């Protein structure tokens, strides 16, 4: 038999500044998940972790993306838990490659999974389950380099089933389109693994494009992917996902993504970029000034409204 | 507990009147008010249907605005405009803060350890707070087929603590041995040696027509802590199918106030669905 | 090792009449799931199964509700798979009780679970997994009366974990607010276990209040809980959930629910009700006539609109 | 296969012109058109990024309006208004038929067996269609660290069949033994004796710069069925790191038509992101 530590209880949420939230909830040595599958990547929060100089983090992200190159180059990370080591169509993450291919400037520990396995690790974490079964991995060499991928006997038939263990971050940070002041957060477009990663974590920071009136949230409760009871801090950070995107608000900065691999291929240029854009700025607002208002405006999108549905309100019955 | 504990009571003479003990109240109203008082300071409550609906609504109006109502249908942060006639009533959805998938509700919210208090009913309860909601008699051919688990087995295994409201207090409902263990106490779970131990306390509080029983120790027994007005300790012991432990000092349950009864009758259960 | 039969491939969906869909896709002896957690219960489809006289079904539903009393009284069902044996606040299901307590007029086989276990059975079915782990059941007598609840050793620690097997219905039927003609179905309000039950099934029928233009669905893709590739038939059945409810369209018929237990307590009265309202009507439209337009109008709800969000549309980037 | 197979080609002289073989086309365009032709009759396609994006889009426009584009980001039934620059691009969401959770996508859509064809790339492929996307050299200290699995291991285990587009055809990319087995063939899965067998066929089709290889038998080897115009069977065999099986009759890959090239350049990849 096995008991699991209960989640920490959440007090009614207080909206706060991002720097205060990172200072309060992200500590050296923590296991930190920054999730968002290409969409809604919490870059502003990642940058603030760099500004505050966190060290020895275990960094969890299905698709590490540029934010991983940045955090690792800033020496925040000792260990990477992920299922992909590149940046989608944009190519290599050179800081990660230097660490793994040449151990420059030092090694980086890696726990490697498939995408579905990472989804299931967060799911097991959120559900306080000791493992989740998966159909993948029969014949793959991934279990051979990851002793945490194990097997159980199928009690309903023959043979074994691969299982993966829970992933329970100390802190999960996500970015959402909007929330109310208590932390009920709504997301549309690609919703990624955010709900699972939030419930799996001990502490949760949600950055949002805007805080809206309670009634906006309560008019459409099915869009609330993250209920307030799971959230410790909600921070208003407009354009907080740049250079990734926010469905309906601004598009991915594809020029930035294309610029990154050649830049990050040169360690000195990468560090200079961090000094200028992250360590050399006091806040995300200053970072955005460096990127430039005109460029940011070019990322805006035209409108495509969802239409409304009706939730109804009871009348007295006959 | 006195009416002075109640927050939000208006000041002055009217306040004194509404905080006074009600002159006529039913046993059901007494039970509901006792349950509501115990929700002070609780954060997330998994509300079942029936008397718990009334208790949670009353607590929310009088004691604890921060209480979050969670329903196993997937709703967290419900703000019903009318009394819910079921855990999946349309009024628990309209204006709610969130509706999540049942998998998220049972998996992440409940099994994930986010529910402070779960409310359960039962046909039978034993000395450690195991519950029977499955059958009276033998499962293969029951004398009475009861509703079964529903979410009860899951709530017992995962809520921080469980409150039980039970409408009978006699040897049939408080037997030495249950006809069937639907939702086991941590004591029964430990004894089985199988599966994953419950993450919470199990039953902490039982409110009956005769009094209130509590369990302080996760692996301990129910102890009589309150008798309702006019009930003696001896009556409760005789009505219980085992040698009931009794607290050193047994208090008398606070009677409902004028305001509590008014809220229950005129604002909460206006159709007398549960206040029967 | 174990191989799982693949799902049958779906052709582009054709909207059809409910009687045609039931005739085509529900066969004697099938395992049939009718899901919808109090909300969106597919009563019209259940009634059509009674009209067509299906026999020997294994009927799956978390909360059997009145529809189970009806199907069992009509002798469609040999076996019941569920996690609750009553009708919420409305009390006993007397046809079920007669079968189980007195085996009148004959026995009914039962597979009994908890709610979470049923959710996980559908999840395992939809995911083609041999089992799903659950934290419930330690010390419960439910595994003792259900040999399909088993244990596996925890490969990451000590002790065992209870697991439940997949549930893969031959047919799942659900009711939704709306769909397009291809079968992309949108649901809001309580979404229950419908997505899992649909993906777990070999064949899927979706009844809807209305079929809408493709563009209505495509304006808000996050509301599509059931993608078209999972659907075989979509049938327009207005008020198809009566006496249960459709969020935003009509409310639960609480008077009907209160009427049922005393009626169903008398086997003859129950059978007469079926003869009059179900077997004595040719379609759901006729059933609704028996219920009465005035009564049905009393179940209508006032408006509470969701508001709209923006999905955005790409502009050329700088 | 001839251009006459193509449905939707307009009639008359203009049609004849657009159905004619293009005078200038690149190797990339040849590969993309060959992949598109193989999607006739397929229902649900799990589209990766890069050349598969082009092939699926081209097939959708020319051969198979019923094809459903599924992305591992959670989108099923995408209708992108512009070419997707990633599997989670905003244009695959706007106007899509559905966006589901990643758990539903990987668990129900993919692992549930609803994907007919998965498209994968690879750095290395072996004779049975196992793929390496993890490392060149040793995993502990690789010569080249590749992207790893992403969804590839999951797609190989669960899609009905897998198409591979690979931009090199030499002993390094078609070795006798992979440096690392990221996504195993059913042959490798069976040999391991562990876990659950893949539910699909594994790799059915490999499109390379030299030709097309196919696997008819789930536990069989890749067989050369097509050579691209100007390529000999001997060249392909020499470029392959094992004794490559060759079909009794090896066909020549159809050349892109004027219309296919026009669509690729002027309507699909207007920014030449992948047509480089």
Q: What are D88-121's pLDDT values in tens digits? A: 899 999 999 999 999 999 999 999 999 999 999 9
Distance from CA of residue C64 to its chain's centroid? 9
* Out of A129, A177, A306, closest to residue C308 by CB: A306
Q: Residue C102: pLDDT above 60? A: yes
pLDDT recorded at residue C14 = 79
Non-local (6+) Cβ contacts of C154 within 8 A are A2, A130, A131, C160, C161
pLDDT recorded at residue C7 = 47
pLDDT recorded at residue D51 = 87
Cβ distance D113 to C7 less than 8 Å, yes or no, reads yes
ipTM: 0.95
Q: Residue D3: pLDDT above 70? A: no
Q: Tens digits of per-residue pLDDT, D125-150?
A: 999 999 999 999 999 999 999 999 99
Length of chain D: 276
> Residue C308: which H helix or E strand, with range?
none
Query: What is the residue whose two structure tokens read 């789930």?
Result: D218
Q: Residue C318: pLDDT above 80? A: no
Q: Residue A229: pLDDT above 60? A: yes
Q: Considering the domain boundaries, does residue D126 fall inside one?
A: yes
pLDDT recorded at residue B70 = 94
Query: Could you tell me if A287 and A59 are in contact, meaning their C-beta atoms sit under 8 angstroms apart?
Result: no
Alpha-carbon distance of A317 to C258, in angstroms, equals 13
Length of chain C: 318
pTM of the model: 0.95
pLDDT recorded at residue A90 = 58
pLDDT recorded at residue B6 = 36
Q: Residue A5: pLDDT above 70? A: no
D148 Ramachandran zone, left/alpha/beta (phi>0; psi -120 to 50): left
pLDDT recorded at residue B83 = 84
Q: Tens digits of per-residue pLDDT, D27-36?
A: 999 999 999 9
Cβ distance C128 to D199 less than 8 Å, yes or no, reads yes
Q: Considering the domain boundaries, does residue D14 fall inside one?
A: no
Alpha-carbon distance of D80 to D53, in angstroms, equals 11
Query: Could you tell me if C232 and C10 are in contact, meaning their C-beta atoms sit under 8 angstroms apart?
Result: yes
Q: Tens digits of per-residue pLDDT, C130-140?
A: 999 999 999 99
Indicate the average pLDDT of chain A.
Answer: 94
- The percentage of residues in chain C with a pLDDT greater than 70, rounded to a whole number, is 94
Q: Considering the domain boundaries, does residue B110 fall inside one?
A: yes
Q: Residue D49: pLDDT above 80? A: no
Long-range contacts of D238-244 (CB under 8 A, 24+ apart): D239/D169, D239/D170, D239/D171, D239/D174, D239/D210, D240/D169, D240/D171, D240/D174, D241/D171, D241/D172, D241/D174, D241/D175, D241/D176, D242/D126, D242/D127, D242/D174, D242/D175, D242/D176, D244/D127, D244/D213
Nearest Cα of chain A lies from the Cα of C313 at a distance, in angstroms, of 5
pLDDT recorded at residue B122 = 94
Cβ distance D98 to C184 less than 8 Å, yes or no, reads yes
pLDDT recorded at residue B16 = 74
**Residues of C in Cβ contact (< 8 Å) with A302:** 312-315
User: Dihedrals φ, ψ of B64, to 5°?
Assistant: -155, 90
Helices and strands per DSSP (H, E), number in chain C: 12, 13
Q: Considering the domain boundaries, does residue B6 fall inside one?
A: no
Q: Tens digits of per-residue pLDDT, C56-65?
A: 999 999 999 9
* Out of D44, D90, D97, closest to residue C184 by CB: D97
| Tally of domains in chain B | 1
pLDDT recorded at residue D8 = 40
Q: Considering the domain boundaries, does residue D173 fall inside one?
A: yes
* Out of D74, D143, D181, closest to residue A140 by CB: D181
Q: Which of A67-81, B191-205, D35-49, D243-257 comes out lowest in average pLDDT?
A: D35-49
Positive or negative, the CA dihedral B177, B183, B189, B194 is positive
Q: What share of chain D is helix, strand, coil (3-state, %, to 5)?
A: 30, 20, 50
SS3 of residue A78 by DSSP:
strand
How is residue A113 written in tokens? Answer: 């999974």
pLDDT recorded at residue C317 = 56
Alpha-carbon distance of A18 to A206, in angstroms, equals 9
Cβ distance A135 to D106 less than 8 Å, yes or no, reads no
pLDDT recorded at residue C89 = 59
How is residue B80 written in tokens? Answer: 């019903």
Neighbours of C103 (CB within 10 A): 11
Instruction: List the CATH number of the domain containing D86.
Output: 3.40.1080.10
Higher pLDDT, D49 or A223: A223
A216 at interface of B, judged by CB pairs closer than 8 A: no
- The percentage of residues in chain A with a pLDDT greater than 90, rounded to a whole number, is 92
- For residue D274, what is the nearest residue in chain A, using CA coordinates? A89
Q: Which of D193, D198, D109 is nearest to D162 (CA)?
A: D198
Alpha-carbon distance of D225 to D245, in angstroms, equals 9
Indicate the average pLDDT of chain D.
Answer: 92
Indicate the average pLDDT of chain C.
Answer: 94
- CA angle, C309 then A122 then B48, to 5°: 70
Cβ distance A154 to C2 less than 8 Å, yes or no, reads yes
pLDDT band of residue B53 (cuts 50, 70, 90) is: confident
pLDDT band of residue C161 (cuts 50, 70, 90) is: very high
**What residues form DSSP beta bridges with C15?**
C234
pLDDT band of residue A255 (cuts 50, 70, 90) is: very high
pLDDT recorded at residue A7 = 46
pLDDT recorded at residue B108 = 98
Q: Residue D2: pLDDT above 50? A: no
B126 Ramachandran zone, left/alpha/beta (phi>0; psi -120 to 50): beta
- Pick the residue of D81, D114, D137, D148 with the most A CBs within 10 A to test the interface with A by mutation: D148
**What residues form DSSP beta bridges with A147?**
none
pLDDT band of residue C87 (cuts 50, 70, 90) is: confident
Query: What is the residue whose two structure tokens read 């809604």?
Result: A40
**What residues 220-259 of chain A have any CB closer than 8 A to a CB of chain D?**
245, 247, 251-252, 254
Higher pLDDT, B1 or C305: C305
List the catalytic residues of B: 72
Query: What is the residue whose two structure tokens read 């239409």?
Result: A307
pLDDT recorded at residue C169 = 98
pLDDT band of residue A317 (cuts 50, 70, 90) is: low
Cβ distance B94 to A123 less than 8 Å, yes or no, reads no
Q: Residue C13: pLDDT above 90? A: no
CA–CA distance from D150 to each of A61, A112, C177, D156 (Å)? 11, 10, 36, 11
Q: Provide the domain limits for residue D170.
A: 24-268
What letters, b where the CB count within 10 A reaches 16 and e where it falls short, cover A193-219? bbbbbbbbbbbbbbbbbebbeeebbbb
Q: Residue C6: pLDDT above 80? A: no
Query: What is the residue whose two structure tokens read 């996760």?
Result: B218
Neighbours of chain C (3+ CB pairs under 8 A): A, B, D
Alpha-carbon distance of D273 to D211, in angstroms, equals 23
pLDDT recorded at residue B65 = 81
pLDDT band of residue D275 (cuts 50, 70, 90) is: confident
What letters, b where the CB count within 10 A reaches 16 and e where it falls short, cover D248-261? eebeebbbbbbbbb
Higher pLDDT, B67 or C80: C80
What domains sit in chain C, N to C, each tagged with a CATH number?
4-130+165-297 (3.40.1080.10)
Q: Residue A53: pLDDT above 90? A: yes
Alpha-carbon distance of B258 to B25, in angstroms, equals 9
Neighbours of chain D (3+ CB pairs under 8 A): A, C
pLDDT recorded at residue D271 = 82
Cβ distance A193 to D102 less than 8 Å, yes or no, reads yes
Alpha-carbon distance of D145 to D143, in angstroms, equals 7
Rounded mean pLDDT of B192-211?
97
Alpha-carbon distance of C264 to C267, in angstroms, equals 6
Q: Residue C8: pLDDT above 60? A: no
SS3 of residue B170 by DSSP:
coil
Dihedral in degrees, nearest 10, Cα atoms C76, C81, C85, C89: -90
pLDDT recorded at residue D81 = 87
Q: Residue B146: pLDDT above 50? A: yes
Pairing mode, strands A203-211 and A171-179? parallel
**What residues form DSSP beta bridges with D20?**
none
Q: What share of chain C is helix, strand, coil (3-state, %, to 5)?
A: 35, 20, 45
Query: What is the residue whose two structure tokens read 């899901």?
Result: C35
Q: Residue D65: pLDDT above 70? A: yes
Alpha-carbon distance of D237 to D224, in angstroms, equals 9
Q: Which of A83-92, A282-291, B227-236, B256-265 comes out lowest in average pLDDT?
A: A83-92
Cβ distance C129 to D111 less than 8 Å, yes or no, reads yes
- For residue C135, what is the nearest residue in chain A, using CA coordinates? A129
Length of chain A: 318
Dihedral in degrees, nearest 10, Cα atoms B94, B99, B101, B105: -120
Cβ distance B149 to C112 less than 8 Å, yes or no, reads yes
A5 at interface of D, judged by CB pairs closer than 8 A: no
Indicate the average pLDDT of chain B.
Answer: 92
Nearest Cα of chain A lies from the Cα of B28 at a distance, in angstroms, of 25
Alpha-carbon distance of A199 to A195, in angstroms, equals 6
CA–CA distance from A16 to each of A23, A205, B33, C95, C250 (Å)? 11, 10, 37, 57, 41
* Out of A163, A189, A308, closest to residue C307 by CB: A308
Q: Residue B8: pLDDT above 60? A: no
Q: Tens digits of per-residue pLDDT, A115-159?
A: 999 999 999 999 999 999 999 999 999 999 999 999 999 999 999
Positive or negative, the CA dihedral B128, B134, B139, B144 is positive
**Residues of A in Cβ contact (< 8 Å) with D185:** 139
Q: Tens digits of per-residue pLDDT, C215-255?
A: 999 999 999 999 999 999 999 999 999 999 999 999 999 99
pLDDT recorded at residue B258 = 95
Q: Residue B252: pLDDT above 60? A: yes
């Amino acid at each position: 038999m096995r008991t699991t530590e209960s989640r920490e209880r959440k007090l009614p949420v207080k909206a706060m500044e991002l720097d205060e939230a990172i200072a309060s909830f992200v500590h050296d040595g923590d296991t930190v998940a920054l999730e968002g599958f290409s969409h809604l990547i919490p870059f502003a929060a990642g940058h603030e972790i760099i500004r505050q100089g966190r060290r020895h983090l275990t960094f969890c992200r299905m698709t590490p993306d540029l934010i991983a190159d940045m955090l690792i180059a800033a020496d925040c990370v000792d260990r990477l838990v992920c299922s992909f080591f590149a940046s989608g169509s944009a190519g290599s993450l050179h800081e990660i490659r230097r660490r793994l291919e040449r151990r420059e400037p030092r090694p980086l520990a890696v726990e490697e999974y498939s995408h579905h396995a990472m989804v299931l690790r967060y799911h097991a974490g959120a559900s306080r389950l000791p493992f989740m079964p998966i159909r993948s991995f029969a014949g793959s060499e991934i279990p051979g380099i990851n002793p945490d991928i194990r097997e159980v006997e199928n009690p309903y038939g023959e043979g074994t089933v691969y299982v993966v263990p829970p992933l329970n971050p100390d802190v999960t940070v996500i970015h959402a389109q909007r929330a109310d002041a208590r932390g009920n957060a709504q997301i549309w477009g690609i919703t990624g693994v955010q709900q699972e990663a939030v419930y799996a974590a001990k502490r949760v920071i949600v950055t949002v494009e805007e805080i809206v009136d309670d009634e906006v949230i309560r008019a459409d409760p099915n869009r609330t992917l993250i209920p307030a009871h799971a959230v410790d801090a909600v921070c208003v950070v407009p354009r907080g996902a740049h250079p990734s995107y926010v469905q309906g608000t601004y598009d991915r900065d594809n020029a930035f993504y294309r610029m990154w691999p050649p830049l990050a291929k040169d360690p000195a240029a990468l560090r200079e970029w961090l000094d200028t854009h992250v360590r050399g700025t006091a806040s995300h607002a200053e970072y955005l000034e460096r990127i430039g208002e005109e460029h940011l405006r070019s990322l805006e999108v035209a409108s495509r409204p969802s239409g409304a549905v009706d939730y109804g309100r009871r009348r007295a019955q006959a | 507990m006195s009416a002075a504990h109640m927050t939000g009571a208006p000041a002055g003479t009217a306040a004194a009147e509404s905080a006074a003990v009600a002159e006529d109240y039913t046993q059901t109203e007494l039970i509901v008010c006792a349950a509501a008082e115990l929700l002070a300071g609780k954060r997330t409550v998994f509300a079942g249907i029936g008397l718990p609906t009334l208790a949670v609504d009353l607590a929310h109006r009088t004691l604890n605005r921060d209480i979050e109502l969670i329903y196993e249908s997937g709703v967290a942060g419900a703000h019903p405009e009318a009394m819910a006639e079921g855990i999946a009533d349309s009024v628990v959805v309209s204006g709610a803060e969130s509706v999540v998938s049942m998998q998220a509700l049972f998996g992440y919210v409940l099994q994930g350890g986010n529910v402070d208090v779960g409310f359960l009913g039962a046909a039978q309860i034993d000395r450690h707070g195991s519950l029977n909601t499955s059958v009276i008699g033998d499962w293969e051919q029951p004398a009475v087929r009861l509703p079964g688990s529903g979410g009860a087995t899951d709530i017992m295994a995962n809520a921080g603590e469980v409150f039980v409201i039970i409408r009978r207090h006699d040897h049939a409902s408080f037997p030495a041995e249950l006809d069937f263990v639907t939702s086991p106490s941590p004591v029964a779970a430990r004894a089985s040696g199988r599966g994953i131990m419950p993450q919470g306390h199990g039953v902490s509080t039982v409110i009956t027509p005769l009094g209130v029983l509590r369990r302080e120790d996760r692996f301990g027994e129910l102890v009589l802590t309150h008798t309702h007005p006019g009930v003696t300790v001896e009556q409760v012991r005789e009505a219980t199918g085992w040698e009931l432990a009794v607290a050193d000092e047994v208090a008398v349950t606070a009677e409902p106030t004028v305001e509590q009864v008014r809220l229950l009758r005129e604002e909460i259960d206006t159709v007398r669905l549960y206040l029967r």
